[in-house]
Amino acid sequence: MRSFSLANPLLAIILGLLTIGCGRKGDPIPRPRAAAQPVEARLEGLRSIRLVLPRLDTKDEALVGVEIVRVLYLPLGLVKPTPEEVFSHGEVVLERRRPDLPGPGGTLLLDLKSLQRPQGWIVIVAVRLGNVPGRPSEVLPWMAPAL
């Protein structure tokens, strides 16, 4: 039988140091953010909308905050579109960014008098940090500015 020499413990120490030093380098990767739940939107007259920002994300976890609120517009069609259709095919006509936004669950009044679009549909989307859009709000009718 062969006896252990000094080289074997030294080899074990070197291999141990190498395996300890092989870990992932750099900052930890943050967990992906879940999208925000829909914004509660309600028309306040013809040209303003009252919004209540969501408190939770789609995983029912507390929402830290909203970075941007976007208003999307889709021209009038033959049938009322779903919120997802307005979100995917509509155009962004207004954005409100932090720090002009209240915290989660806060109320915001948007004035849309400057929006010069023909009749159509609008939805509001809350966007989290990292450009993660939430679920769109219910579809609201948009009346022509001439009315």
CATH number of the structural domain spanning residue 46: 2.60.40
Domain that holds residue 97: 40-142
User: Does 146 score more than 80 pLDDT?
Assistant: no
User: Does 33 score more than 80 pLDDT?
Assistant: no
- Amino acid occupying residue 55: R
Tell whether 130 is covered by a domain.
yes
Tell whether 7 is covered by a domain.
no
Tell whether 112 is covered by a domain.
yes
Angle at 138 between CA 135 and CA 144, to 5 degrees: 125
* Cα(72)–Cα(86) distance, integer angstroms: 7
Q: How confident is the model at residue 70 (pLDDT cuts 50, 70, 90)?
A: very high
What pTM was computed for the model?
A: 0.74
Q: What is the DSSP letter of 56?
A: B
pLDDT of residue 54: 92
Closest CA relative to residue 83, chosen from 41, 112, 114 = 41
Tell whether 116 is covered by a domain.
yes
Tell whether 83 is covered by a domain.
yes
Tell whether 22 is covered by a domain.
no
Contact call for residues 47 and 94 (beta carbons, < 8 A):
no
Our count of domains for the chain comes to: 1
Tell whether 102 is covered by a domain.
yes
DSSP secondary structure letters along 83-126: HHHHHHH-EEEEEEETTSS--TT-EEEEE-TT----SEEEEEEE
Distance from CA of residue 140 to its chain's centroid?
20
* Cα(117)–Cα(146) distance, integer angstroms: 10
